Amino acid sequence: MSIYLDYSATTPVDPKVFEAMIPYFKEKFANPSSIHTLGRIVREDVDKARATVAKSIGAEPHEIIFTASGTSSDNMAIRSIAEKFAHRGKHIITSVIEHKAVLQTCKYLEKHGYEVTYLPVDKDGLVSVEDFRNAIRKDTILVSIMLVNNEIGTLQPIKEISAIARKNQIIVHTDAVQAMGKMKIDVGELGVDLLTFSGHKICAPKGIGVLYVDENLKDDMVPLIFGGSQEFGLRAGTENVANIIGLAKACEIVMEDVEKEAAYVKGLRDLFENRILTEIPQTYVNGSREKRVCSVTNIAFKFIEAEALMIYAEEICCSTGSACTSESVDASHVLYAIGVDPVDLHGSIRFSFGRFNTEEEVNRAVEMIKTSVEKLRAMSPLV
């Protein structure tokens, strides 16, 4: 029986979410844009879902745009603002440890006349607010910094960054994909103009994302996909109704339980981490152990190839690098940026915990890892 410790890559759909979605594959299949009774019923359900999603991050329903994924939301936020505000300037600030959805969008814009500053991070994975302040130029239009990093879990000082950005009339986007469901999120408190999150990281299905757009900015958004007038004319295409309903249910669960769940998940993460660090010699945690989300630990095992360990402890599902880059032989850009010893880059593994994990699983995983590390080190010429 496998032990799933890869919640940062994706999560299982919560049975309550699945249950809520079923009618939309069956009797409630109508197109919400249809004006017949069935269509109108589904439209009302989508509206209710939008209100629930909005409430879960302290937003208004008309500030929520449903997209196809976290990646689509990141693309839309950055490209839309870049296009609309090009007359004011073509400079964007981001960080070196963003998700590829942000980094690759920035790379694309660089090929089209924009300039991007990639802020460095310290050994904890933190962006410096001072560095941000110093990077601001007259032509800076947008800053995009993630709330929580997906590989090491670092929490960035978004509130402070927003405050400075506001004074300089710079629009703020944050990728909150890894923060949603693990901490309370309030867009007003954060002071951001745009915020991304994704369904499949919070026990809703894959293929649904959210872009929050502050109402003052809404008229400045330009669509990237053209067609019908769905999603306020900003994202054409018939709504993925079942996924929208599922996402709303997941957000409802988050609203009810986020603090309790975060404490539970943190308990499991800490138990795992403490046992590994004390029972397996020559291991350490990559990044900050304090300024970090509750669910992730990224551990370096010295003298070990992470892939080999994953083969030995094959019952454990976890990630080397990040899932999105694990097919490439390149080491993680995040671990590289925080200055992990190059030798240890290939011995680092991300374990991420969630709602359905148990203490028994955690303890079983530790035992398996212990045995596997011992075997591998016994064979290694490096030890």
The answer to whether residue 154 forms part of the interface with ligand PLP (CB under 6 A) is no
| Closest approach of ligand PLP to the CB of residue 349, in Å | 17
Distance, CA of 36 to CA of 268 (rounded, Å): 50
- CB closest to ligand PLP, residue no: 70
Edge-to-edge strand list for the sheet holding 283-285: 283-285, 296-301, 348-352, 319-320
Beta partners for residue 194, in sequence order: 173, 213
**175, 231, 239, 252: residue in contact with ligand PLP (rule CB under 6 A):** 175
Cα distances from 274 to residues 92, 164, 319, in angstroms, run: 40, 38, 19
The answer to whether residue 273 forms part of the interface with ligand PLP (CB under 6 A) is no
The answer to whether residue 150 forms part of the interface with ligand PLP (CB under 6 A) is yes
Look at residues 79, 145, 144 and name the one whose alpha carbon lies nearest to residue 114: 79
Query: SS3 of 49, please?
Result: helix
| Closest approach of ligand PLP to the CB of residue 184, in Å | 18
**117, 162, 174, 178: residue in contact with ligand PLP (rule CB under 6 A):** 178
Known catalytic residue at 294: no
Distance, CA of 153 to CA of 290 (rounded, Å): 10
Q: Which stretch binds ligand PLP (CB under 6 A): 12-20, 194-202, 310-318, 359-367?
A: 194-202
Helix axes 100-110, 70-84, angle to 10 degrees: 30
Instruction: Say how many C-beta atoms besides its own lie within 10 A of residue 360's C-beta.
Output: 9
234: left (phi over 0), alpha (psi -120 to 50) or beta: alpha
The answer to whether residue 201 forms part of the interface with ligand PLP (CB under 6 A) is yes
Q: Which stretch binds ligand PLP (CB under 6 A): 28-36, 157-165, 174-182, 242-250?
A: 174-182
Q: Which stretch binds ligand PLP (CB under 6 A): 69-77, 104-112, 255-263, 361-369?
A: 69-77
The answer to whether residue 211 forms part of the interface with ligand PLP (CB under 6 A) is no
Q: Which stretch binds ligand PLP (CB under 6 A): 64-72, 79-87, 130-138, 345-353?
A: 64-72
Contact positions toward ligand PLP, by CB under 6 A? 69-71, 99, 101, 146, 150, 175, 177-178, 198, 200-201, 209
